[in-house]
Structure 1
Amino acid sequence: MMDALRSALFALLFYPGTLLYVLTVIAVSPIGDAPVQRVVHAWSSFHNWLVRNILKIRIEWDGEIPEGAYLIAVKHQSMMEAVDTLHFARTPVVVMKRELTVIPLFGWVTRRYGVIGVDRDAGAAALRTMMTEARAAVAKGRPIIIFPEGTRVPYGDRPELRPGFAGLYRALGLPVVPVSHDVGRLWNRGFVKRSGTVHFKVGEVIPAGLKRPEVEARVHAAINALTP
């Protein structure tokens, strides 16, 4: 019962609060990129505060994500880590499904901040667009965050990586920082989020230039390090 009440309070605070942050980004957008980035990061911090203080989810980290030009590969089980990725690195560009980038207002803010929207049904055309946008982001010194499994998966699932990851790895020539977690134990696709402790683990940096089978095997193992 308490988890359900906390989840309801979280929703009552997070979604109206998100609208205020979206409107703020629109208001400061003409000033430049820096104010937009500050507001978006403040929104992510707001979400993180609600997770810790309203949902009573404690977050523990094993390791640190290094600074610099990296491809950061993250296990994807919930909305929680999707929003919190904005804390993982300095002004990261996140690869996300295109549907999120066309949501009224919110989608415009994601594009203004800088994301890579991928149409998973567009095949080779989507991959070419992703490569172009990723190279532009790296040229600006921004790290790339990708969910290499392509979509959210239930806790315990270990699907193969989508082809887009290997293509991005090869095209960018960047080392990979893998991040695993067990958020799905407490937070899944349902409305109720359970209180407790979640763990994030930063794996060993995987060098650039590996053959596709090797890099995929190493990333798959590393992002599933906390998956039973």
Structure 2
Amino acid sequence: MMAFLRSTLFHLLFYPGTLLYCLAGLAVAPTGQGALRHVVHGWSNFHHWLVRHVLGIRMEWDGQIPDGPFLIAVKHQAMVETVEALRFAHTPVVVMKRELTTMPIFGWVNRRYGVIGVDREAGASALRSMMKEGQKAVAEKRPVVIFPEGTRVPFGAAPPLRPGFAGLYRVLKLPVVPVAHDSGKLWPRGYVKHAGTIRFKVGEVIEPGLPRGEVEARVHAAINALNP
């Protein structure tokens, strides 16, 4: 019952708050990119505060993500790590499903901040578009965050990596920072989230230029390091 009540309060605060932040983003966008980024990062801090103080979820880190232009490969089990990516990386460009970039207001703010929207049904054209947007991020010296398994999976699942990761790795020529976590234990699909501690583990930096099979194997092992 307590988890249900906490989850209800979280939803009642987070989604109206998100709308307010999006409207603020629209308002400040004409003044420059810096103001818009400030609003977006404020939204991620607002989400973090709700997760900690309303849902009762702490976050514990083993290792630290370095600053600079890296390809940050993150396990995807819940929404929480997608928003936290705006906190644990410095002004990142996040690879996300295209639907999140076409939503009214929210999608516009996403696009202005700088994200890479991927149409999973578009095949090779989606990969080409992702490479082009990734190169723009590198030119701006921004890290790129990707969820290399392609979609969120339950805690304990370890599907193979999607082709988009290897393509970005080859084209961007960036070192990879793999990040494992166990958010799915507390934040499963559905309405109710549970109090507790989410553990994050930053793996060893993987150098650019490795063969596809080797880099995929190393990243897959590293992002699943906290699986049972």
TM-score, structure 2 as length reference: 0.99
Match of 2:71 in 1: 71
SS in 2 for 1:198: strand
Match of 2:201 in 1: 201
CA distance in 1, matches of 2:119, 2:157: 23
Which whole-Å deviations, capped at 9, do the CAs of 1:170-218 have from their partners, x for residues lacking one?
Answer: 0000000000000000001110000011100000000000000000000
Unaligned runs of 5+ in 2: none
CA distance in 1, matches of 2:16, 2:61: 29
Match of 1:22 in 2: 22
The number of aligned residues is 228
SS in 2 for 1:210: coil
One-letter code aligned to 2:198? V
1:183 aligns with 2:183: yes
1:147 aligns with 2:126: no
Point out 4+ residue stretches in structure 1 off by more than 4 angstroms. Answer: none
Deviation at residue 90 of structure 1 after TM alignment:
1.0
One-letter code aligned to 1:116? I
CA distance in 1, matches of 2:174, 2:185: 31
One-letter code aligned to 2:185? R
Match of 1:62 in 2: 62
CA distance in 1, matches of 2:191, 2:198: 18
Match of 2:167 in 1: 167
Match of 1:214 in 2: 214
Unaligned runs of 5+ in 1: none
Percent identical pairs in the alignment equals 70
**CA RMSD of the aligned region, Å?**
0.5
CA distance in 1, matches of 2:148, 2:72: 10
Match of 1:36 in 2: 36
TM-score, structure 1 as length reference: 0.99
Match of 1:46 in 2: 46
Which whole-Å deviations, capped at 9, do the CAs of 1:90-138 have from their partners, x for residues lacking one?
Answer: 1000000001111111001100100000001101000000000110111
Which whole-Å deviations, capped at 9, do the CAs of 1:50-82 have from their partners, x for residues lacking one?
Answer: 000000001100000001110000000000001
One-letter code aligned to 2:199? H
SS in 1 for 2:131: helix
CA distance in 1, matches of 2:62, 2:147: 19
Deviation at residue 14 of structure 1 after TM alignment:
0.2
SS in 1 for 2:35: helix
SS in 2 for 1:150: coil
One-letter code aligned to 1:224? N
One-letter code aligned to 1:48? H
Q: How do residues 128-143 of structure 1 correspond to structure 2 at under 5 angstroms? A: 128-143=128-143
